[in-house]
């Protein structure tokens, strides 16, 4: 990964990754993720609003936080979304985590993501995780 890869200490819900106001988008590889990120930056997003993570970073984060997951995460949807992220990461997907708190921003990011072959997208709202 290049310099667009970063460390990110996201908020967690019951021990599971839960970045409220963000979209988590899986792309088929680094090229697609990089192109999508560049399009977002060209369109006005700031560097820290569109973060890129390698498949290995996602796998590592999920595996390193398994012990901290609450039983409530298993009862809710959080653990299911985490499993999906892990599946895609194991297939080599590269992820963008993009700040898009409003519906218009979400639609804008998803238009870009679809152009570059997004395989999976989740929007983290205050009380829900929405599959897009």
Q: What is the pLDDT of residues 50-60, one digit of tens each?
A: 999 999 999 99
pTM of the model: 0.81
- Tell me the sheet residues that pair with 95: 26, 53
Query: Quick check: 1 pLDDT over 70?
Result: no
Distance separating alpha carbons of residues 27 and 126, to the nearest angstrom: 24
Map out the domains of the chain with their CATH numbers. Answer: 12-131 (3.30.70)
Q: Mean pLDDT across the stretch 109-128? A: 94
Q: Average per-residue pLDDT in the chain?
A: 82
Confidence at 66, pLDDT banded by 50, 70, 90: low
Confidence at 116, pLDDT banded by 50, 70, 90: very high
- The answer to whether 118 and 26 are in contact (CB under 8 A) is yes
> How many angstroms separate the Cα of 93 from the Cα of each of 42, 49, 120?
23, 20, 10
Confidence at 100, pLDDT banded by 50, 70, 90: very high
């Amino acid at each position: 990964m290049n310099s667009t890869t970063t460390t990110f200490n996201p908020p967690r819900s019951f021990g599971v990754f839960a970045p409220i106001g963000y979209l988590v988008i899986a792309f088929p590889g680094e090229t697609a993720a990089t192109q999508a990120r560049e399009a977002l930056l060209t369109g006005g997003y700031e560097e820290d609003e569109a973060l890129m993570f390698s498949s290995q970073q996602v796998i590592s984060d999920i595996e390193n936080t398994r012990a901290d997951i609450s039983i409530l995460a298993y009862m809710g949807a959080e653990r299911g979304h985490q499993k999906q992220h892990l599946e895609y990461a194991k297939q080599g997907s590269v992820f963008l985590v993009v700040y898009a708190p409003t519906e218009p921003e979400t639609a804008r990011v998803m238009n870009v993501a679809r152009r570059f072959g997004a395989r999976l997208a989740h929007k983290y709202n205050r009380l829900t995780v929405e599959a897009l």
